[in-house]
Amino acid sequence: MTHSIAIKAGDNVDAKVQRALAVFATAHAVEFTNRDTRAAQKLVAVVERTKARLHEQQAGLVFQHNRLTHTTRASQPVPQLAIRLSRDERSDDSWVLN
């Protein structure tokens, strides 16, 4: 099961990440999506800071960071960040950063 968390401008990114870590024990993966560039940069920083601690708690996680493009009705490309934390079934001790 994947737990998705949307991040909007003005959201408390730290709190959203902590919430994700709390539900991660029962979910196979956690996905963050974000269409606000500044908040996206903060989200990456928060996840990077918590990555080592999370790695200690849950061996065999994969951290994926992909920059995507979302198209609005006006056909203006909007930067979108998708971050996915998931268990790596191939390894007991693995992080992947794209």
Does some domain include residue 42? yes
Distance CA 80, CA 98 (A): 15
From the CB of residue 63, how many other CB atoms can be counted at a distance below 10 Å? Answer: 19
Q: Can you give the pLDDT at residue 84?
A: 59
CATH number of domain containing 61:
3.30.110.20
CB 78 within 8 A of CB 35: yes
pTM: 0.34
The position carrying tokens 């949307």 is 6
In angstroms, the Cα distances linking 17 to 12, 27, 72, 83 are 9, 14, 26, 11
Does some domain include residue 93? no
Does some domain include residue 97? no
Structural domain total, the chain = 1
List pLDDT tens digits, range 4-39: 666 666 777 777 766 766 665 555 555 555 555 565
Does some domain include residue 98? no
List pLDDT tens digits, range 43-92: 666 666 665 555 555 444 444 444 433 334 444 444 444 555 554 445 44
Which domain, by its residues, includes 13? 2-87
The CA radius of gyration of the chain, in Å to the nearest whole number, is 14
